[in-house]
Amino acid sequence: MGDDAHRFRGSTGRPPTRRLVRNAKLATLPVAYAGRRAAGVGKRAMGRPPAEVQREIQQRTAQHIFEVLGELRGCVTKLGQLLSIYELALPDGTGEPYRIALRQLQDSTPAMLPPTVHAAMAASLGPDWRSQFREFDDRSAASASIGQVHRAVWQDGRAVAVKIMYPGARAAVHGDLQQLRRISVLATVFIPGADVHSLTDGISASIEQELDYLAEARHQRTFAAAFADDPDFLVPEVITQCGDVIVSEWVDGISMPRLITSGTQAQRDRAGLLALRFVIAGWQRAGLLYADPHPGNFRLLPDGRLGVVDFGACTPWPPAEFLAWLGDLAEAVFNGGVPALERVIRDHGFVAPGRDIDVEAAAEMLAPLLEPLQYSTFRMSTEWLGGIVREATSPRLTNVTRQLTVPGYYTPFGRALLTALGTLCQLGTGGALKAEFARASPEMAAAMVAFDRRETAHLAIARAESTPAPPQSRRLRVVGD
């Protein structure tokens, strides 16, 4: 780690919660970044190659951001987790320093020491909390953005996961939300030209939800009932929730981050397809959108089922506006063409009233994103997603995304979709993605059927010369296809 990051290491095993301390640590990020850039000017003037100087700035900034976000936790760690997925859009030549530092945020975060754990348990479950367990492991088994998970044995003999919120995390996170808006410009270090204010607002709203463990337990119970005895999914039962502690059944299995690094292709295909199916089926069966399909929230069980944990980021779904938009969009892109796409953009609030829009450019940008829906089978890849996101976030003034806006009803789904795509691309998932998306609504399925009947290789919004068939590495050959 860089020298300017080491000074934030603490020895208490408890993330800082005092506002002045947290604000001071966050404030060092833009100051240090500006200082590195100024020093870089001098180094270039002394003859250092510009590329070498820029890479050094990137490495030190990434290490500094990881160190501060990982120690502060809360909403700033959630920002780091999201960036560790969306950094897939960074070019290979500039993105590696951030990839190395930010990916650690998914699993490498400071743990509470036993005295702090015991105090947190007593505050929520009472001073005799140990009487409710046969065994309790003081060591953290997993981390969460605002807490950590411990393995234990409940009084009836069941293995359980005990999720504990950090003491003082609630007040600390509220302070973080204010500071995060002040330093959100740092997001441009990762994706120049991104709408960092919208990103920050979305993260803030989701973190507010995740502070409510009572609501999280209610969401988990709803999903557990909806997916009870399902052959493809396991949602652990909530045993009890009190204050800032949730006790659920333990889920054994291979974590998705481990699948990404060392799983077989068959395991990665199955896990990715099931994760996507869970997001889509969730709102149909439970009436809730599972908005955080992050790799850390899934386990592949020995029997092939997908275990799903962490239900803090859920919202009632779908609103009527969403279903109307989804049906109209599907018909426009598959069969209607560019004029129909412009009507969808305007009628459903994706452009301000009266504002001009380059709809041809919008169609050209959207077509690659829908490529998995053109073919019966498709393989996701970080290269595919990276190209799409780089195009969408390009800082050039002519970028059509500068003309677009995002209506409020779409934001939760947008987060869930982009996170799911990032997860599938990290897994390199291949399979019948088109069939999975067809489950989203009858209108989408009908639009896909009509598209297939036209026997064309191109979406209605795409110019034939701009959307060649994908290379064999992206498509999968299936017997009978």
* Span 307-339, pLDDT tens digits: 999 999 999 999 999 999 999 999 999 999 999
Taking residues 33-50, what's their average pLDDT?
Answer: 49
Cα(108)–Cα(139) distance, rounded to whole angstroms?
Answer: 14
Is the per-residue pLDDT at 474 higher than 90?
Answer: no
For residues 86 and 102, is the Cβ–Cβ distance under 8 A? Answer: no
pLDDT of residue 169: 79
Q: What is the mean pLDDT of the chain?
A: 79
Local structure of residue 2 (DSSP, 8 states)? -
pLDDT of residue 69: 57
pLDDT of residue 195: 56
Cα(224)–Cα(246) distance, rounded to whole angstroms?
Answer: 15
Q: Give the whole-number percent of the chain exceeding pLDDT 90.
A: 52
State in Å, rounded, how far the first CA of the chain is from the last one. Answer: 51
Is the pLDDT higher at 26 or at 391? 391
**∠ CA 336-370-81, rounded to 5°:** 140
Residue 204 is encoded by which pair of tokens? 């803030």
> pTM of the entire structure?
0.79
Cα(106)–Cα(78) distance, rounded to whole angstroms?
Answer: 9
Query: CA 321 → CA 50, 64, 345, distances in Å?
Result: 50, 42, 13
Lowest mean pLDDT among 376-390, 410-424, 467-481: 467-481
Question: 79 falls in which pLDDT band (50, 70, 90)?
Answer: low
Query: CA 93 → CA 58, 96, 316, distances in Å?
Result: 11, 7, 41
Is residue 307 helix, strand or coil? strand
Q: Please list, in sequence order, all residues whose beta carbon lies within 8 angstroms of the beta carbon of residue 420, skipping any fewer than 6 positions away.
A: 275, 276, 279, 293
Instruction: Considering only the C-alpha atoms of the chain, give the largest distance between any 2 of them, rounded to a whole number of Å.
Output: 70
**∠ CA 312-67-99, rounded to 5°:** 80
pLDDT tens per residue, range 282-304:
999 999 999 989 898 999 999 99
Q: Where are the domains of the chain?
A: 3-110+170-208, 114-165+212-316, 320-466
Question: 209 falls in which pLDDT band (50, 70, 90)?
Answer: confident
Lowest mean pLDDT among 2-16, 137-151, 246-260: 2-16
Taking residues 37-55, what's their average pLDDT?
Answer: 52
Is the pLDDT higher at 470 or at 152? 152
Is the pLDDT higher at 463 or at 355? 355
Cα(159)–Cα(156) distance, rounded to whole angstroms?
Answer: 9
Cα(51)–Cα(470) distance, rounded to whole angstroms?
Answer: 33
Q: Give the whole-number percent of the chain exceeding pLDDT 70.
A: 67
Q: Please list, in sequence order, all residues whose beta carbon lies within 8 angstroms of the beta carbon of residue 290, skipping any fewer than 6 positions away.
A: 223, 278, 279, 282, 308, 311, 313, 314, 416
| Cβ atoms < 10 Å from Cβ of 91 | 9
Q: In this structure, which CATH number among 3.40.50.360, 3.90.1720.10, 2.70.70.10, 1.10.510.10 belongs to the domain 114-165+212-316?
A: 1.10.510.10
Tell me the backbone φ, ψ of residue 223, rounded to 5 degrees. -65, -40
Question: 262 falls in which pLDDT band (50, 70, 90)?
Answer: very high
| DSSP tally for the chain: helices H, then strands E | 18, 13
For residues 71 and 63, is the Cβ–Cβ distance under 8 A? Answer: no
For residues 405 and 201, is the Cβ–Cβ distance under 8 A? Answer: no
Cα(250)–Cα(309) distance, rounded to whole angstroms?
Answer: 10
pLDDT of residue 457: 76
pLDDT tens per residue, range 141-169:
987 768 899 999 999 999 999 999 988 87
Residue 104 is encoded by which pair of tokens? 């650690």
Is the per-residue pLDDT at 181 higher than 80?
Answer: no
Helix (H) or strand (E) holding 433: helix 433-438
Question: 347 falls in which pLDDT band (50, 70, 90)?
Answer: very high
Is the pLDDT higher at 137 or at 77? 137
Is the pLDDT higher at 180 or at 272? 272
Question: 454 falls in which pLDDT band (50, 70, 90)?
Answer: confident
Q: Half-sphere exposure (CA, 13 Å, Cβ side) for 294?
A: 26
pLDDT of residue 42: 47
Cα(427)–Cα(263) distance, rounded to whole angstroms?
Answer: 9
pLDDT tens per residue, range 80-94:
555 555 555 555 554
What is the chain's length?
481
Give the rounded distance of the alpha carbon of 256 from its chain centre: 13
Is the per-residue pLDDT at 22 higher than 90?
Answer: no
In the block, residue with structure tokens 């009436």: 287
